[in-house]
């Protein structure tokens, strides 16, 4: 039974006991019992505080019988309320303790995951996108209410703590993480997280939010691989909506889930020891049994080749950009990584 329902029922039962006891004593005591005397007698009977009777009940057997019923019913209802509240506190704390331990254990086994620092409006969008594209990630934020609310809908792994703390990032698995996004409200905090994260894991890819162009240089000096200015991006989007609405509409529909499928533009980097090196796209046959499209290729220290020919040669650290449904692009990624 839900805590709130149990508590309400217990309080109603206690109120009934007090009301019935007061009315009973008033009725049985007649003019000798005032309303205050009746309430007082009911309360000390229910709470069993041990005070003496304010009116002698030795000559009133009906009042004694009423007292017996009040003791059983009133004490029962009060004990029900106390046990409900105590159980909620104890079980809630235990659940939180074991829940945190279980979550930290799940986080500890993650590899090549992403860490999201900050869970405001942008952070919520980031989390939903990572979920849709089947990425493992951990959210770090100090706002427990926002985390719990997001966890109810998205079922996320999270740490309710300060992302600027080294130990918190370590608990989030930063040494084994693939990337980190810091979207904290203050640029100073984003700068601090970026600097700390890069020191803990120099190979980590870091994307930071910035409030203005002045902070871009500082964040990149601190170790950010990319800095995103939401206001700047928002302005570009509004202009695009104005001058190229059809193209924007196409991208929007692609990014939304359609018929249970999620379409995305993804990228894969060919590992240095891959068997695919030296082969053409046709020979590699990366897109076998899929409807994935190769949009572009980029060799190391080379420009992008858009819509590459099937005879294009795959080289060491070649980046291949594809467009397709998430599950199919995931299969292509696994194929690339396992070659």
Look at residue 260 in the predicted model and tell me its pLDDT: 63
Angle between helices 230-243 and 245-255 in degrees, nearest 10: 120
Please state, in angstroms and rounded to a whole number, the distance separating the CA atoms of residues 250 and 312.
28
- Mean pLDDT (the chain) is 85
CATH classification code of 110-234: 3.40.50.720
Which pLDDT does position 54 carry in this prediction? Answer: 65
Task: Tell me the pLDDT band of 331, cut-offs 50, 70 and 90.
Answer: confident
pTM of the model: 0.62
CATH architecture observed for domain 3-104: Orthogonal Bundle (1.10)
Q: For the chain, what is the total number of helices (H) and then of strands (E)?
A: 12, 11
Given this model, what pLDDT does residue 56 score?
A: 66
Radius of gyration of the chain (CA): 33
Is the separation of the CB atoms in 212 and 229 below 8 Å?
A: yes
pLDDT at residue 182, as a whole number: 96
Percentage of the chain exceeding pLDDT 70: 91
Which range has the worst mean pLDDT, 169-173, 224-228, 268-272?
Answer: 268-272
pLDDT band for 113, please (50, 70, 90 cuts).
Answer: very high
Residue with tokens 């359609």: 258
Sequence ranges of the domains in the chain = 3-104, 110-234, 259-338
- Supply the pLDDT for residue 67: 81
What whole-number distance in Å separates Cα of residue 281 and Cα of residue 333? 15
Per DSSP, 109 falls in state T
Q: What is the pLDDT of residues 235-247, one digit of tens each?
A: 988 998 999 899 8
Per-residue confidence at 75, pLDDT binned at 50, 70, 90?
confident
CATH class of the structural domain 259-338 = alpha beta
- In this prediction, residue 3 has a pLDDT band, given cuts at 50, 70 and 90, of low
What pLDDT, on the 0 to 100 scale, is given for residue 76? 85
**How large is the average pLDDT for residues 311-318?**
88
Residue 247: the pLDDT is 86
Cα–Cα distance measured from residue 244 to residue 238, given in angstroms and rounded to the nearest whole number: 10
* C-alpha to C-alpha distances, 83 to 49, 69, 242, 312, nearest whole angstrom: 19, 21, 62, 73
Average pLDDT over residues 219-226: 93
pLDDT of 138: 96
Query: What pLDDT sits at residue 65?
Result: 84
Is the model's pLDDT at 101 over the cut of 60?
A: yes
- Cβ atoms < 10 Å from Cβ of 184: 24
Helix (H) or strand (E) holding 246: helix 245-255
Q: What is the pLDDT of residue 51?
A: 66
Decide if 114 contacts 178 (C-beta within 8 A): yes
pLDDT range class, residue 271, cuts 50, 70, 90? confident
Mean pLDDT of 303-327: 88
């Amino acid at each position: 039974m839900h805590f709130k329902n149990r508590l309400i029922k217990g309080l109603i039962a206690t109120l009934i006991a007090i009301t019935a006891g007061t009315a009973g004593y008033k009725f049985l005591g007649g003019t000798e019992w005032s309303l205050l005397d009746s309430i007082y007698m009911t309360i000390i009977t229910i709470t069993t505080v041990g005070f003496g009777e304010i009116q002698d009940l030795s000559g009133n057997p009906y009042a004694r019988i009423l007292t017996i019923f009040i003791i059983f019913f009133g004490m029962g209802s009060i004990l029900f309320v106390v046990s409900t509240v105590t159980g909620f506190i104890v079980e809630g704390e235990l659940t939180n303790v074991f829940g945190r331990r279980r979550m930290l254990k799940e986080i500890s086994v993650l590899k090549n995951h992403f860490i999201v620092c900050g869970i405001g409006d942008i952070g919520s969008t980031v989390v939903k996108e990572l979920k849709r594209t089947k990425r493992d990630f951990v959210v770090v934020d100090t706002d427990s209410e926002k985390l719990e609310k997001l966890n109810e809908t998205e079922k996320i792994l999270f740490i309710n703590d300060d992302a600027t703390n080294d130990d918190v990032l370590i608990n989030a698995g930063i040494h084994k993480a693939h990337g980190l996004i810091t979207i904290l409200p203050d640029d100073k905090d984003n700068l601090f997280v970026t600097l700390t994260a890069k020191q803990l894991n120099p190979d980590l890819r870091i994307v930071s939010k910035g409030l203005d162009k002045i902070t871009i240089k500082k964040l990149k000096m601190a170790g950010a691989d990319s800095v995103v200015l939401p206001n700047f991006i928002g302005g570009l989007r509004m202009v695009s909506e104005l001058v190229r609405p059809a193209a924007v509409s196409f991208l929007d529909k692609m990014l939304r889930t359609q018929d249970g499928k999620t379409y995305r533009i993804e990228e894969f980097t060919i590992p240095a020891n891959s068997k695919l090196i030296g082969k053409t796209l046709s020979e590699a046959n990366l897109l076998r049994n899929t409807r994935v499209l190769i949009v572009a290729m980029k060799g190391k220290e080379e420009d992008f080749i858009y819509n590459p020919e099937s005879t294009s040669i795959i080289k060491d650290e070649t980046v291949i950009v594809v467009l397709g449904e998430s599950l199919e692009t995931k299969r292509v990624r696994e194929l690339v990584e396992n070659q």
